[in-house]
Structure 1
Amino acid sequence: MNVLIMGGTSGIGLGLAQHYWVQGARVAICGRHPGKVADLAWVRDPRISVHACDVADRAAVERMVHEFAAGGLDLLIVTAGQYADAAAIAQDRERALPVLHVNVGGLDNAFSAASAAMLPRGRGQLVAVASIAGLQRDYPTGSLYSASKRAAIAIADAYRKALAPFGIAVTVIVPGYVDTARLRELNQGDAGRKPFLMTEQDAVTRIAAAIACQHERCVFPWQLHALVRVFNCLPLFLKRLRKK
């Protein structure tokens, strides 16, 4: 099995890379900072390759996919993502652009290149890791991050419809809070106050199971999913009280 992971140098992406390596797969780990995994012994296995690639750079993604897919491409997983809260964007409006370029444009870059590589073989699977924030309905003061993840879910749904006749499956993963280093960094070193927080390993196990079953959409945990449904039913004045 040949697996390519965009955003694989940390967090869920790195956990999934190790999961598929343990299963015996050939795995390409891509990220903007490949040096982050240089000290991991298992990454030096011949079945693992690590590449510098910015998912927002369409030409670079196309080159990366073309090179790796020469040996076959069975599974693409896109975990790369960018986050900026409302306060950061208010201070510097340029902070909004990477969220758009990575979460929306980057996903399309990866899906477009990988699907082109899979079409001649008539099989393969594309996977997008979005966020449960993307299930929030839009409202006037809603966050850019939520909007970008709604777009990611929609992109996956569109690719699924277009590629189903060609034997290519598309799965979108919609997780809640996962205790990654990035989430801790965004929360002053401790993400413990996040509701229904799960470990990286638990998230990786759930995601890998959904991929294996080729589920169209996998949302977890159910408790947070239920809260989002309740939130979507609230009147606008209450939604505006939500902290970004």
Structure 2
Amino acid sequence: MTFSICVRDPYETDDGSEETRFGVAVTTRLAAVGTLCPFANEHGAVATQSLVNVELGERGVEYLADGLAVDDALQSLLNADEGAPNRQLHGVDDEGTFAFSGGDCKEWYGHIERENFTVAGNLLTGESVVEATADAYEASDADLPLAERLVDALAAGHAEGGDKREELEVQSAALIVTTTEDREMEPYYNDLRVDASKTPVEDLRETYELADESYQAAVEKYEESYEEDDIDAGEE
């Protein structure tokens, strides 16, 4: 299942509150990766890939919500999974990171753990794909929306070669961003999927830009109504 990135992004709101964003983004040379790989909630982000076991992602974020540390949560799931040698599983929570690549994953495969994020990939053209993804995210502008930074990270890995299965032309990409902050309006660009495309990262970027445009228009029209909890007033 190609390559993905999971991140923890601490930030301070305008009123001085300390909050955290969690994000996960992925692309692959198969359709609908967004239904299989990325998982996130206000407690962390998880990606499951290679020979995918969706339950590892679903239960992983559930365990984080129950208060388990990310390394304990994901390792316990792997310990109970007979197919663990074929899995890649990685993620972040509010304090730590975890990354695992089973020995039976398909070359090239591997992962990177750095402060606040993890990157993993398999069936890649080489190690440089995950390195480029990690370096691009690490160098990204923290003032930009996290969704945009995740797209940029995927684009860097894709430009480095990405998934080596060139005979598979139909591809996909997805991203999810969550936050601990309680907001009246959640940006529309924080949960995006391109399910079938020959240019998934480019299409994900275009989808992000259009979703951002839509969000800004909605804020202008409906923000006061959301604050008053009266969306019908925005139609007047």
| TM-score range for the pair, normalised by the shorter chain length | 0.3 to 0.5
Q: Which has the higher strand share?
A: 2
Q: Which of structures 1 and 2 has the larger relative contact order (alpha carbons within 8 angstroms, sep 6+)?
A: 2
